[in-house]
């Protein structure tokens, strides 16, 4: 069966299949995403935060302008629908403004903002899971998709298939696998963005891979019926 071939069911190694699909998906997602701005000057950020806390509205506008490209690029991982994506970006900056008093100048503003962006996106995925407003394709139906074989897929098809695969997982697992495998983040980077400890990141990644494996095993049983 095509499903067994593209997911390497016989060896129960879905990560091997991901290794083939991820580079293709990365290429199309990077081409579609909003380009991040150049890294902003930390001292300038700190000064604008100070001014903003003092009531200078223009200071926050400058912060948004400097960081909006980077935030937009980050939020593309959570939704590729243009309207939803724009709303998520706006939510990040609204939450950042409301939480500005919690920012400490000993850290980078961009890192602090990235954590808020991750939290906003994760919350969006959790809401999706509750509402089931955007159903994903069951794994046992993948063999009906065109070009499901990695060797025959276009980058766009690889991105869509990978998006659907990760959409089968709970938001927490989806987040850690997206950051680790699709965006090549290190354990330290994931810990910084999520607020988890490095040990928690490793444990969560291990659990997510096990859940992915169980999904594949379930798909195999259904495929063999």
Domain that holds residue 186: 2-133+143-224
Q: Quick one: pLDDT at residue 167? A: 81
72 inside domain: yes
Output Rg (C-alpha) for the chain, integer angstroms: 19
In the chain, how long is the greatest CA-to-CA distance?
Answer: 67
Least confident segment among 44-48, 64-68, 192-196: 192-196
111 inside domain: yes
138 inside domain: no
Total of domains in the chain: 1
How far apart CA 32 and CA 153 sit, in angstroms, is: 18
- CATH value at residue 105: 1.10.1740.10
Local structure of 82: helix, strand or coil? helix
pLDDT tens digits, residue range 57-69?
899 999 999 999 9
How far apart CA 216 and CA 67 sit, in angstroms, is: 39
> Is pLDDT above 50 for 4?
no
Query: Predicted confidence band at 3 (pLDDT cuts at 50, 70, 90)?
Result: very low
DSSP state of 77: T
Element (H, E) at 198: helix 198-224
How far apart CA 170 and CA 195 sit, in angstroms, is: 18
> Is pLDDT above 80 for 144?
no
- Sign for the pseudo-dihedral over CA of 42, 47, 52, 58: negative
72 against 160, higher pLDDT: 72
Q: Quick one: pLDDT at residue 9? A: 35
Mean pLDDT, rounded, of the chain: 76
How far apart CA 137 and CA 124 sit, in angstroms, is: 19
217 inside domain: yes
177 inside domain: yes
Least confident segment among 29-43, 88-102, 106-120: 29-43
Contacts of 125 (CB under 8 A, 6+ apart): 78, 171, 174, 175
C-beta of residue 191 within 8 angstroms of C-beta of residue 200: yes
> Is pLDDT above 80 for 133?
no
Threshold 0.75, pTM exceeds = no
86 inside domain: yes
Phi/psi of residue 140, nearest 5 degrees: -75, 0
């Amino acid at each position: 069966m095509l499903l067994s071939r593209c997911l390497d069911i016989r060896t129960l190694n879905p990560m091997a299949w991901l290794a083939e699909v991820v580079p293709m998906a990365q290429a199309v997602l990077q081409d579609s995403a909003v380009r991040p701005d150049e890294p902003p000057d930390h001292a300038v950020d700190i000064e604008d935060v100070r001014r903003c806390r003092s009531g200078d509205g223009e200071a926050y506008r400058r912060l948004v302008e400097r960081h909006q490209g980077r935030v937009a690029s980050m939020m593309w991982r959570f939704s590729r629908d243009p309207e939803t994506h724009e709303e998520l970006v706006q939510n990040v900056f609204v939450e950042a403004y409301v939480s500005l008093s919690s920012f400490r100048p000993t850290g980078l503003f961009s890192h602090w903002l990235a954590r808020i962006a991750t939290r906003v996106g994760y919350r969006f995925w959790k809401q999706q899971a509750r509402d089931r407003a955007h159903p994903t394709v069951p794994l046992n139906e993948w063999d009906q998709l065109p070009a499901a074989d990695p060797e025959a897929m276009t980058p766009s098809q690889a991105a869509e298939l990978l998006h659907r695969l990760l959409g089968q997982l709970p938001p927490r697992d989806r987040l850690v696998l997206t950051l680790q495998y699709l965006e090549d983040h290190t354990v330290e980077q994931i810990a910084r963005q999520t607020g988890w400890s490095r040990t928690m990141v490793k444990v969560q990644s291990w659990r997510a891979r096990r859940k992915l494996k169980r999904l594949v095993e379930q798909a195999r049983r259904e495929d063999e019926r």
